[in-house]
Amino acid sequence: MADQDQEPRDSNSDAETDRVGPFGEAATYERDGHVATITYNRPEALNAVNRDLRRDLNAAWEMFMADEEAWVAILTGAGDRAFCAGADLTDGGGSAGDFPGTFWEKPTVNSFESGLEVFKPTIAAVNGHCIGYGLTAVVACDFVLASERATFAWPEVTLGIPTIVGAIRLPRRIAWADAMEFLLTGESVDAERAAAMGLVWRISSHDQLMDDARSLADRLCHAAPLAARATKEVAVRTRSMPWTEAVRFGETMRLVAASTDDATEGIQARADRRPPEWQGR
């Protein structure tokens, strides 16, 4: 999938690596140029989400949203076996986060999986088993790249528990019967079947997966970051709007984006026949 003619990365792009932020290491945040990689980092537990991972994962997404130099995110899992094995059942309610009250009183939108609004482009690089919370995060991403070894499942119904956010999201992405197969059987689906359903966008060889994800991220970085965010926000928000309101909202977003320095730069760069130098402002 990698573009052989793609320009090399800018060595002066303010690259940051090995950045885990002001939290622990159960999830890590690293930025290389304008591409951030968020990694589930409990390979010894198949990257199952416990209290520590939930805390660090939420902090990593908040960091991505606040980091003006981060234009695209890649979400993946550490190790060679799992992307994310879902909730760590040995940690009680910790996988949902530390919130007051009982389970049923916890807020609904408290994580990327449950609906945090992220309008920067996101890529899931699924390198192994992708279960429960992991799959819910995947269907929140704009692009899903999968290793040939990847598998996908929401097994909650086989445990007597309904799948909620997955049941909201999945029928919006794939055909109804395919979505119901996932949600109502709880069975595992391999990468090839997931691609046939339309859940997976591209399948990569296991060793090539992260290179392909990075190649896609670099392509996305060719776009003006604020224009890309505005476009994604219009695509997301107008799905539930009547046509006239959707067009009005979109035209308002166009006016906002047109007033940015990047819009001026884009027009000038086209006139000068040179690549634009985006500043994200």
Q: Dump pLDDT digits (tens) for 64-112.
A: 999 999 999 999 999 999 999 998 988 755 666 554 444 444 556 678 9
Asked if the domains at 27-220 and 225-272 fall in one CATH topology, the answer is no
- Give 28-72 pLDDT, tens digit per residue: 999 999 999 999 999 999 999 999 999 999 999 999 999 999 999
pLDDT tops 80 at residue 2: no
Bridge-based pairing state of the strands 27-32 and 35-40: antiparallel
Residue 195 has pLDDT above 90, yes or no: yes
Q: What is the pLDDT of residue 7?
A: 42
| Residue spans per domain, the chain | 27-220, 225-272
Interacting residues of 47 by C-beta distance below 8 A, sequence separation 6+: 40, 41, 53, 77, 78, 79, 82, 83, 84, 85, 134
CATH code for the structural domain at 225-272: 1.10.12
pLDDT of amino acid 24:
74
CA dist., res. 65 & res. 72, Å (int): 10
Nearest alpha carbon to residue 233 among 91, 76, 109, 117:
117
Fold annotation for 27-220? 2-enoyl-CoA Hydratase; Chain A, domain 1 (3.90.226)
Q: What is the pLDDT of residue 103?
A: 42
What per-residue confidence (pLDDT) applies to 110? 75
CB 110 within 8 A of CB 97: yes
